[in-house]
A = this chain, B = another copy of it.
Amino acid sequence: MTFHSLKKHIKSNIEISNEDLALICSYFKPHSIKKKDFLLTQGNIYKYEGFVLEGCFRIFAIDEKGNENTLYFAAKDWWLMDIDSFMNQTPSNLNIQALENSKVLLIDRADKMRLYESLPIVEKLFRVMSQKALVAWQRRLIRNHCETAKERYLHFSNTYPSITSKLTDKQIASYLGISHEFLSKIKKQS
């Protein structure tokens, strides 16, 4: 039951046997994370990769000026990772915080490496997911270049209405790359 949504998610990305699916799932352990708790804070090395079962997370960086910069939000069926820190074992620049009481499946770095080695299809799984993510990031950057803040806000809230409803305007503004005051003015207009 716990692994149902992970299995479904994997099958939506690659063709895979039930045996392999079960083996992959056996590496993941369920965890609960309370609202406002952090799975990762910047400066630390990221040891886990996570898959969200329920709840919602915010992945953000804090720059020198103290501004919070939200990379993305992760709700059900999204992954929690800091690829850079996880791959290279370098201190992370990111923070991953639960926005509500949440449940995740976690795999630690050593197990992930074992999984890659013991089951080559896992390479394919992450290759496919990474490439899809890449396309999404490219599109987001283009939107940032050619759309106004208002257009970007409407696109986000229409694309992810259920996530939008869980967020404060401050969090949305930090995702869109605008000040929260300006977001307030945008919302008043529309």
Contacts and interface: CB of A to CB of B under 8 A. Distances in A.
Interface string A93-137: 000000000000000000000001000100110111011111101
A144 B83 contact: no
What is the copy number of this chain in the assembly? 2
A67 B133 contact: no
A131 B123 CA distance: 11
A171 to B, nearest CB: 14
A154 B138 CA distance: 22
Nearest to A133: B134
B63 A135 contact: no
Interface in A121-163: 123-124, 126-128, 130-135, 137-138, 140-142, 144-146
Interface string A68-107: 0101000000000001100100000000000000000000
Interface residues of A, number: 31
A65 interface: yes
A71 B123 contact: no
Contact of A131 (B61, B130, B145, B146): B130
* 6 tightest Cβ-Cβ pairs between the two chains A and B: A145-B177, A130-B130, A127-B127, A123-B123, A137-B137, A120-B120
Interface of A: 61, 63, 65, 67, 69, 71, 83-84, 87, 116, 120, 123-124, 126-128, 130-135, 137-138, 140-142, 144-146, 177
